[in-house]
């Protein structure tokens, strides 16, 4: 948190061999790490975010460092999604991505300035705009956002149990494609 430049601190750790001992989960010291170090200073000063960006297996590293479970899960999600971004031209794809990444979307958006632009072109500017427009519209992104609940489905004749959850998931998938369909009348007609 107090380093003038994170990239310089990590470079020093690598040069003296400390990174190999303290942070063996970090990316290889080859060209991939050199490229990552060039961009790490663009990230917010967030230890979990920086660790998830630099480590091959962020959850393993955060676990070994005895971080809080919430930070470990955050690192796991960032590690799993850090190279899987939607096409910002497709709002349904972006809504599905937001639904899948859930609470970790802001972390993944914060990583965009540090990603390799050659691998993921034009994302740094387009995805945040697409996400902002979806959030501003209040599009449904989770089961809790649907116009119907499990009780509504049961009242409509769906058997209580796993069928309710499966049907809610299918309805959510439909609403992610077209948020205008998120009305009680339409969703119950689909049941």
Can you tell me the distance from the alpha carbon of 147 to that of 154, in angstroms, rounded to the nearest whole number?
14
Same domain, 53 and 110: yes
Mean pLDDT of 40-63: 89
Q: Work out how many domains the chain is built from and give that number.
A: 2
User: How many CA within 13 A on the CB side of residue 179?
Assistant: 18
For the chain, what percent of residues have pLDDT higher than 70? 93
Res. 95 pLDDT band, cuts 50 70 90: very high
Residues 117 and 168 in one domain: no
181: tokens are 């369909």
Domain of residue 104: give its range. Answer: 6-137
| Per-residue pLDDT tens digits for 44-53 | 889 899 888 8
112 and 55, same structural domain?
Answer: yes
Binned at pLDDT 50, 70 and 90, residue 118 comes out as low
DSSP one-letter code for 57: S
Average pLDDT, the chain: 87
Asked if residue 161 and residue 90 are part of one domain, the reply reads: no
Q: Of 137, 160, 177, which marks where a domain is finished?
A: 137
pLDDT of residue 40: 85
pLDDT score for 30: 56
Examine the domain organization and report whether 133 and 148 are in the same domain: no
């Amino acid at each position: 948190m107090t380093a003038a430049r994170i990239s310089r601190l990590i470079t020093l750790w690598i040069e003296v061999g400390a990174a190999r001992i303290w942070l063996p989960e970090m990316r290889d010291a080859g060209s991939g790490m050199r490229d990552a170090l060039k961009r790490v200073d663009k990230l917010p000063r967030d230890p979990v975010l920086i660790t998830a960006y630099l480590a091959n297996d962020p959850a393993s590293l955060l676990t070994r460092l005895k971080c809080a479970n919430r930070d470990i899960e955050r690192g796991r999600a960032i590690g799993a999604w850090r190279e899987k971004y939607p096409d910002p031209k497709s709002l349904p794809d972006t809504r599905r991505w937001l639904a899948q990444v859930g609470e970790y979307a802001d972390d993944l958006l914060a990583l965009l300035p540090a990603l390799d632009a050659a691998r993921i072109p034009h994302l740094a500017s387009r995805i945040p705009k697409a996400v902002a427009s979806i959030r501003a519209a209040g599009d449904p992104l989770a089961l809790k956002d649907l116009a119907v609940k499990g009780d509504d489905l049961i009242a409509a004749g769906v058997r209580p149990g796993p069928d309710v959850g499966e049907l809610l998931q299918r309805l959510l998938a439909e609403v992610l494609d077209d948020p205008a369909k998120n009305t009680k009348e339409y969703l119950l007609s689909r049941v």
